[in-house]
Amino acid sequence: MNIEIPHSALVVGAHPDDAEFGCAGTVAKWTRAGCEIHYLMLTSGDKGSEDPEADLAELRQIREQEQLEAAKILGVAGCTFLRLSDGEVVNNLELRGLIVREIRRFKPEVIFTWDPLTRLYRMHPDHRACGQATLDAAFPAAMMPHSYPEHLRKEGLSVHRTKRLLLFGTDDPDYVSDISDTLELKFEAMRKHPSQFSMDNPAFMERMTKRAQDAAKEQSFEFGESFKLVQLEM
Ligand SMILES: [Zn+2]
């Protein structure tokens, strides 16, 4: 199956670096083709350190800066940070409303986010909550004028119907994006997150390369990113 490259897309991640792991190769490919892509990060990853003495405000700043630099490499138009507390993301009506607002603001044709229903049980709870809240925001809340009506009445926004979502971190992929031409850019963007992992670690690089190869295993191309496709527009 082939999905035509849309005019606009939104990536909703729980932490800085989620998007680089999940969909950066596809993001780079699409922005090259003229697609306008925005990032929405629910938290700024302010607990992403194993150092008990870490300054969390400083860590937040570092991680936002890392995300901005990674996004720049991929041609992303802008990043919004909601600055929720890392590790404490809960899918509730408030979070749904925050995501609905960004969907109504950017009006993406496609949304990338985590697959909340994956059976890979070793999953960060923020990722699960992020994926579920984003699905619930895109369908049907963002398209319904009586959901979060203050966006329409007070903020000048209008309802929006997203065409489809591509869910990363899935155990049940049914769409593979060819990232053979942009794998290097994905790695270059990942290199902008030195507070989290080192791209100079050969075992890590091997694992990342194998992941991209495995995704493309049954395809006619070399490297891929795999997703669960959710069609909202039939
Ligand atoms: Zn994460």
Q: How far is the CA of 200 from the centre of ligand 1 (A)?
A: 20
Token readout for 106 is: 């950017």
Please indicate, yes or no, if residue 2 is contained in any of the structural domains: no
The answer to whether the bond into 140 is cis (omega within 30° of 0) is: yes
Token readout for 163 is: 């065409």
Please indicate, yes or no, if residue 121 is contained in any of the structural domains: yes
User: Number of structural domains, the chain?
Assistant: 1
What is the pLDDT confidence band of residue 121, given thresholds at 50, 70 and 90?
confident
Please indicate, yes or no, if residue 3 is contained in any of the structural domains: no
Please indicate, yes or no, if residue 140 is contained in any of the structural domains: yes
CA 90, chain centre distance (Å): 17
The CA-CA-CA angle for residues 174, 162, 27, to 5°, reads 60
What is the pLDDT confidence band of residue 3, given thresholds at 50, 70 and 90?
confident
Distance CA(182)–CA(45), nearest Å, equals 26
Domain that holds residue 105: 8-231
Beta bridge partners of residue 227, listed in sequence order = 175
Q: How far is the CA of 196 from the centre of ligand 1 (A)?
A: 10
Q: What is the CATH number of the domain that holds 167?
A: 3.40.50.10320
Please indicate, yes or no, if residue 1 is contained in any of the structural domains: no
Q: How far is the CA of 155 from the centre of ligand 1 (A)?
A: 30
Distance CA(76)–CA(161), nearest Å, equals 22
Q: How far is the CA of 85 from the centre of ligand 1 (A)?
A: 12
Please indicate, yes or no, if residue 211 is contained in any of the structural domains: yes
pLDDT of residue 233: 87
| pLDDT tens digit sequence for 9-56 | 999 999 999 999 999 999 999 999 999 999 999 999 999 889 999 999
Please indicate, yes or no, if residue 144 is contained in any of the structural domains: yes
Please indicate, yes or no, if residue 40 is contained in any of the structural domains: yes
Flag whether pLDDT at 1 surpasses 90: no
Asked whether the beta carbons of 96 and 141 are under 8 A apart, the reply is: yes
